[in-house]
Amino acid sequence: MDRLLDIKSFSYDFDEKSTKSVQQHADTMMGLRQEALNRPLQSGATFHIHLNRHDAADQPPRARPLPSFAHASASRTLVLETLLQPGLKHGSEVWIARVASPTCGASDPSQPSDRVVLKFIQPSMLTFPTVDDVIDSHEWKDAYFPPKYVASREDAIYHLLQPAQGAGAPYYFGVHQVTMPNAARAHARHGVHPRPLSECVEDTAETQRRRR
């Protein structure tokens, strides 16, 4: 577990000793970021992800009931519904998504279904170094975290919280690579909050009001 949290075990997507490589990486990230802003995620977008089952025997005392889809491992269609957090300022984008029933498909929101919270970690939305950063000093390393490290660290933390999932922590269903509308790859983390999603939405709205 400690190895997953050690940033030194994650390589960069560029050669820090080559200004050409750093510049190419920065140009690529800037291009993908602009594409992501031009073609953002929208309500109704779908992602097909394999969700693993949760063992009810592992639930902590007074845990919320497992969502219906968590009783068996299967490929599910997740339909985005409500944006909770935009990506550019926060480095990740958070949505409420509906887990579509395998029998009714993704196009029938009237059918009963569970909701999950999806967090998208898109590399181009994270901080990345420029040539000037690399040439001037090594301080850029304090602000740059490889995307795989960001996703793996959260994955490791949620595994540490396994005994509390469903009570003090969300039910967690792992990290998957997905393709965004701009064709870029991103890491999607999904879980079910231990409280009703209506409360989560209210908390998020209140937090946003306080920041203004």
**Span 71-90, average pLDDT:** 85
**Is the C-alpha dihedral spanning 183, 188, 192, 198 positive or negative?**
negative
Q: What are 49's two structure tokens?
A: 């992800």
Identify the helix (H) or strand (E) that includes residue 93: strand 93-100
CA atoms of 181 and 184, how far apart (whole Å): 7
Asked if residue 120 lies in contact with residue 87, where contact means CB atoms within 8 angstroms, the answer is yes
Token pair listed for 172: 């967690």
Q: Alpha carbon 63 to chain centroid distance?
A: 23
Tell me the whole-structure pTM to 2 decimals.
0.77
Give me 153's structure tokens.
């660290």
- What is the SS3 assignment for 197? helix
40-59 pLDDT tens trace: 899 999 998 888 788 777 77
CA distance 194 to 165: 8
For the segment 100-110, the average pLDDT, to the nearest whole number, is 54
- Identify the pLDDT of residue 28: 93
Average confidence (pLDDT) over 79-105? 79
pLDDT at 4 > cutoff 60: no
Strands 185-192 and 171-179, by their bridges, are: antiparallel
Amino acid letter, residue 48 = H
Q: Of 201, 153, 182, which is closest to residue 31 (Cα–Cα)? A: 182
Q: Predicted confidence band at 73 (pLDDT cuts at 50, 70, 90)?
A: confident
Provide the sign of the torsion angle of the four alpha carbons 138, 143, 146, 149, taken in this order. Answer: positive
Q: Where residue 192 falls among pLDDT bands split at 50, 70, 90?
A: low
